[in-house]
Every structure is written in structure tokens, then in C-alpha cells.
Amino acid sequence: MKKINRLLKFGFPWEYLREGAVELFKKAGYEVEIDELSYRIEIDDPEIECITSKVEELAPLVEKGIIDIGITEKAFILDSKAKVIELADLNYGYKIWKSAKIVLAVPENSKIKSVKDLEGKKIATWVPKIAEDYLRKHKVKAEIEFTNLPAEPKCPILVDGVIEFVNTGRALRRFRLKIIDVLMETSPWLIANEQSFQDRWKREKIENLAILLKGARLAQEYAGLMLHASNEMMEEVLKVLPTLKKPTVTQLRGENWFDVLTVANKKEIRDIIPKLKKIGCTDIIEFPLNKVVI
Amino acid sequence: MTEEKLKIGIPKGSLQEYTLKIFKSAGFDINVPEREYLLKIDDPEIDCFLLRPQEIPRYIEKGKLDLGISGDDWILETKAKIVEVCDLKYAKRKIKKVRWVLAVPEDSKIKSVKDLQGKTISTEAVNLVKDYLRKNRVKAKVEFSWGTTEVKPPRFADAIVDITETEATLKAHNLKILDTILVSSTKLITNRKAWQDKWKKEKIKDLALLLQGAVKGEEVVNLMMHIPGRKLKRILKALPGLKSPTIKKITGENWYDVTTSCKERATRELIPKLKRMGCEGIVEWPAVKLVP
């Protein structure tokens, strides 16, 4: 009998979100190969075919079912008004692990002080639908010019203001623009097609992939922590340790000391380790994690 | 005090990055200064030399090196008399199996090895090809190629025998594969003299244990999780432990803490399964060495 090969089509954003997506797949346990010249990505799962796409085109492709599951920016899901299932906020940013914002910015010396002052003016944006809705909400009529290049350099020569992505704010500073309103926060999301979710095989594959990618993402924020503490210290130690996971406590052979194993947020660890040291813990070891699935 | 040193050959080129990586996981830091062949390693009992993998088996045979890493291909090609210590096979897909293949132009009339009679074959591994032809009772001219062998047919040769990983280079030059001559694996090799020296043998065996542990560690990850008491039995059945998992009861609760290790490749199926079965707080972290 001929076996029907099931295939899940995964949409990889090619541009600035790619690096982070590839890193998550690697941590999730996949081998990823990128062919820069032919825009191809291959992973070592015969049931998954990778399709690369421009980040702003990905949500419509998922809506149409050309792609079953993919990663794209929240703002582009909204801007394309694509109906998709939003599985998880992967919340990673370009180069820094921080979500971005979409803001309205104008030149530092501009007379435009708020969205109301945009009446009759012209703005440039990568997200025209979001900009349109925003202006309509504020009952302001202004001309919207689409650009998929950074809009900042156009201001003030070609346009009066921009609605743009801001991550570190460096581009705005460089072109002497100031933020006068924040429209929304945006970050990369894992999304899926609605029909794909009706298919039993696809749904399970999608959900499994979501568990792994979310687990890989969380592991980037966490680290493992191992330490030795005496019986007298234990109560205080357990108070200091975070509660995400119950610590594993093992008695050391023939001693009044314990081995404690747990995971903690990397930022919290900065404070936790000195505290543990003060309590009197010894042999404190921090180690990296691949996945954390709560 | 002994002044003895173990002289090791590290392969330059495609195996270099991986070799340095497993040495690092084995606990050795190797520094590669630019345009140097004497590498800096943080073990005063070892001298490391960066050499072409083609040369390493011969230098080991001659006793210029005590230990080295090279492929089966160059060991066979050089016909060097060496002692194989162990295999350092890498299972991840990234380092694909290196294949030596016989290839001809797409439109060639040569359909199999038999059609090579009287033809010219270009290759970097002359002895490998001669042995292959002899085995197939075919007489052909084998020409040594200094490199970029794939561009030689049809003008300079009728066929080639060359190394391939993805076949992309062959396809780009309109060549098709007729046969695989050798699938090469990575080996740790020494010579009889070093193997008979008590100190060297000891040192080599320790090193082999660590390197093999590092290779295996690449494939393995650790897992820990909380399992509710009433599901413990069922879930443990799903754990393909390398060794039996460590199980501890959490004081005062009907929950168990389970720690185990498994193949990294298995986690993709295992973790979603464990989550669905009711495990909580599943944490995976990498292993560095695995010494069974």
C-alpha cells in the first residue's frame, strides 16, 4: 500500500526575524540549513517543508492556507487583517530580546504636537492599514504613503511624520525625530491557518511544534542553578529561589548538607546568587538550558 | 620529571572546526594562531600540529606524530600502517557522511564502472581508485588531480572520483553519480610504537575516552520534570532513558521529580508527549560528555 506522506508547511520570515527563528528551531532540536543564494531553508524533519517569505507577506499566506504555520510580526498580522490562529507570542526582537513598538514620530522641531495636528499632512509608513485605522480613530484626515524601506530618512524632506517600528530608538535619534504617540507593541508571533487546525494530524504537529518553540524561547530567559546548602540554610534558600519549578533537593551522603537543583530567570539570578552566597551556600553552579516547558 | 610529550595531528580543512569543538567539549582549549601549524593547547604534555588530513596517516606511520584524527579515505589512500584507536563518528546531520563517488558528465556514454575500460579518471585519491578498478577488473588511466576535480570532465578526463557531501557541486557541473566507492568516517589513529609505550598508551586511552564522550555528548541532552504520582508509572514507560531515570518524591506532595538523559533528536517527540501526559516543569539542558 502506498503511504501518504503528510507534510506541514512552515513559513520562515526571511528578513530580520530569520536569525531569531532559526535559533529557536536549533534549540528546539532541529538541524537548520540556510541557502542564502536561493532563499531556501531546510530542516531535518521530512514532515516539515520550510517556505521562506517576506515578513509582511506571511500572514496572508497563512490565511490562504498556502502555509500551515509560520512566524511573523504581530503588526503585520493586524496590517494585513489576515484571519489566522495566533498560537504564541515568541516575543523576540531584532538583535535584542525585547519587543518593538509602532510609534508616530515627527521631527524634533516640528509644530505637530499630537495626532490631531496631522490634519492635511503626509506620513510615511510600512503599515498603512494600521496607520489608516489610527487616523480614522482620531478623526484625522492625512495622506498615507506606503514604504517598505525605513521611513525615517524621508522625514521631513518628503513627509511630515512617520508611523514606524521602534526597537532601540537609534534610527529615530539619528534622523532627529521624536515620538509623539505609541500605537501598539509588536513582537514575532507563531500563527497557524484555521483549516490546518481542523486536520487532526496537522493540528497535533502544529501543537507539538508550538510546545517546542515556546520551550526553546523560554529557555533563553532561564538558566539552571545547582548549589549545596546545609539543613539549617534550607528554609532561607527555598525562600530565595523562584517558584517556577519546585527545586529538586537531594541529601548528600552521610552529611547534613543538601544538593539543590532548580531553574531561574537569568535576570533574577543576578540577585539570587549573591543572596545564596550570603546565606552560606557553596558550589553554586549556573548552566544553560535548551528548553523549558512549564 | 618526564619531558615526554604526545604529538597530535589535527586535520586542517573540513574536519577542523568539528575536531576543535570536540576537543573543547573533552576539556581541552586549543588556540589556532593565524598562519601557524603548531597549535596552542592547554595541556603541557601535548603538542598539537595543524596538518592536511592527507598527511596525518603518513606522519603517524613514520612516528613523526603519535596520534591524529583523519578519515578512512586518507588512511586507505596512503596505505599507512597505523593503529586505529577509535571511531569519532558524528551523528548530527550537519557533518554529513563523506562519500567518494564515481561521476561522469550527464550526457556521457559511460553508464557503469565497466565502461571505464581505457578511459581517463581524474582524482585526488589515486590509490583508492586503482584499488576500485582492480576490484572491478577494469583497466583505465588514473590521473592525480590537485583539486577542483569536478571541472575536469569532459575535456581533461572522462570521469572523476571525488568527495561529495551534498552533491551540489557535482550537479552544478552537470555530473551524475554512477557509484559510491567509499563512505568515509573519522578515526582517531596512532602507531604501534606509541601504542607500546606505557605512558603514551595511557595518555591516548584517556584522551580517546574523553573525545568519544564528547562526541556522544553532542547527541545527548538531560531532562528533568515533575510528574504527578498517579501518572508516574504510565509516564515512565514513555521515557527512553539511556540509563534508568532518577526518581525522587517531592516532600509532602504526591509529585515526583524525575531526571533522565536522552538523545536530543528524541526530544521533539518526547517533550510534547510528556506535556500532554501531564508532566510539568519540563527542563532540558545540554550534555557535554557522555561516558557510558
What is the percent of chain A where pLDDT is above 90?
Answer: 62
3-state secondary structure of A267: helix
Contacts of residue A178, Cβ cutoff 8 Å, sequence gap at least 6: A105, A106, A107, A108, A172
* Residue B176: φ, ψ to 5°: -115, 150
Could you tell me which CATH class the domain A8-95+188-198 is placed in? alpha beta
Mind giving me the DSSP string for B184-208?
E-EEEEE-HHHHHSHHHHHHHHHHH
- pLDDT at res. B243: 59
A81: left (phi over 0), alpha (psi -120 to 50) or beta: left
Nearest to A224 among B255, B272, B283 (CB): B283
Looking at chain B, the whole-number percentage of residues with pLDDT higher than 90 is 57
- At A41, list the grid cell: 531553508
Instruction: For chain A, list the strands marked E by DSSP.
Output: 8-13, 32-35, 40-43, 48-53, 69-73, 85-89, 100-107, 122-125, 143-146, 161-166, 177-186, 188-192, 222-230, 248-251, 257-265, 282-288, 291-293
Best residue in B220, B284, B288 for a mutation probing chain A (most A CBs within 10 Å): B284
Question: Which residue of chain B is at minimal alpha-carbon distance from A286?
Answer: B285
Name the 3-class secondary structure at B90.
coil
Report whether pLDDT(B2) > 80.
no
On the question of a common fold for A8-95+188-198 and A100-185, the answer reads yes
Residue at A188: amino acid letter:
P
Q: Which residue has the higher pLDDT, A60 or A169?
A: A60
Instruction: Please state, in angstroms and rounded to a whole number, the distance separating the CA atoms of residues A184 and A104.
Output: 10
* Domain at A222-288: CATH code: 3.30.70.120
Domains and CATH numbers, chain B: 6-91+186-217 (3.40.190.10), 98-184 (3.40.190.10), 220-286 (3.30.70.120)
CA distance B41 to B28: 7
Q: What pLDDT does residue B96 have?
A: 59
Task: Let me know: does B288 contact B214? Beta carbons within 8 Å.
Answer: yes
SS3 A44: coil
> What is the dihedral angle through the alpha carbons of B231, B265, B214, B29, rounded to the nearest 10 degrees?
-110
Encode pLDDT of A242-272 as tens digits.
877 778 888 887 778 999 988 999 889 999 9
User: What residues of B are in contact with residue A222 (Cβ under 8 Å)?
Assistant: 283
CA-nearest of B76, B115, B118, B71 to B95 is B71
- A260: closest CA of chain B, how far (Å): 12
CB–CB contact B93 A263 (8 Å): no
> Closest-CA residue in chain B for A263?
B283
Identify the bridge partners of residue A177 per DSSP, sorted by sequence position.
A107
Round to whole Å and give the CA distance between B125 and A150. Answer: 53
CA distance A248 to B226: 10
Is the pLDDT reported for residue A3 higher than 70? no
The lowest-confidence range among A87-101, A117-131, A278-292, B104-118 is A87-101
Mean pLDDT of B255-278: 89
Calculated CA dihedral for residues B198, B203, B207, B208, nearest 10 degrees? 0
Q: Which residues contact B90 (CB under 8 A, 6 or more apart)?
A: B18, B186, B215, B218
pLDDT tens digits along B74-88 = 999 999 999 999 998
Pick A29's closest partner by Cβ from B94, B224, B268: B268
User: What is the spatial distance between Cα B288 and Cα A138, in angstroms, rounded to a whole number?
Assistant: 58
Q: What is the DSSP letter of B232?
A: H
ipTM over cut 0.85: no
Q: Give residue-wise pLDDT tens across range B225-254.
A: 999 999 988 888 877 655 578 888 877 788
- In residues, how long is chain B? 292
- Of A153, A149, A146, nearest to A122 by C-alpha is A146
Gap between the Cα atoms of A124 and A118, Å rounded: 12
CATH of domain A100-185: 3.40.190.10
Q: Are B131 and B121 in contact (CB under 8 A)?
A: no
pTM of the model: 0.79
Percent of chain A with pLDDT over 70: 96
Which distant-in-sequence residues (6+ apart) come within 8 Å of A219 by Cβ? A27, A288, A289, A290, A291, A292, B283, B284
- Report the residue from A207, A291, A294 with minimal CB separation from B284: A291
Helix (H, G, I), strand (E, B), or coil: what is residue B50?
A: strand
- Position A152 pLDDT exceeds 90: no
Nearest residue of A to residue B249 by CA position? Answer: A248
C-alpha–C-alpha distance, residues B177 and B105, integer Å: 9
Residue B38, min C-alpha distance to chain A (Å):
33
B171: buried, middle or exposed (CB in 10 Å: 19+, 13-18, 0-12)? middle
Higher per-residue confidence, B252 vs A90: A90
Q: What is the mean pLDDT of residues B50-61?
A: 94
- The domain limits of chain A are 8-95+188-198, 100-185, 222-288
CA atoms of B279 and A294, how far apart (whole Å) = 8
- In this prediction, residue A1 carries a pLDDT of 46
Q: Judge whether A179 and A106 are in contact, CB under 8 Å.
A: no
Q: B-side interface with A, Cβ within 8 Å?
A: 92-94, 221, 224, 226, 248, 250-251, 255, 257, 259, 264-265, 267-269, 271-272, 274-275, 280-286
Q: How far apart are CA B217 and CA B98, in angstroms?
A: 22
* Whole-angstrom Cα Rg for chain A: 24
Whose CA is closest to B266, among B231, B236, B240, B232? B240
Contacts of B41-48 spanning 24+ positions with Cβ under 8 A: B45/B4, B45/B5, B45/B6, B45/B203, B46/B5, B46/B6, B46/B7, B46/B8, B47/B5, B47/B6, B47/B7, B47/B8, B48/B8, B48/B10
Tell me the chain A residues in contact with residue B272 when contact means C-beta distances shorter than 8 Å. Answer: 207-208, 211-212
Residue A33: how many other CB atoms lie within 10 Å: 14
Residue A132 or residue B289, greater confidence? A132
What are residue B141's DSSP bridge partners?
B120
Spell out the alpha helix ranges (H) of B6-115.
16-25, 56-61, 72-78
Looking at residue A67, its pLDDT comes to 94
A212 neighbourhood in chain B, CB within 8 Å: 267-268, 271-272
Q: Between β-strands B246-249 and B255-263, what pairing exists: parallel, antiparallel or unpaired? A: antiparallel
Strand-pairing partners, residue A227, are A260
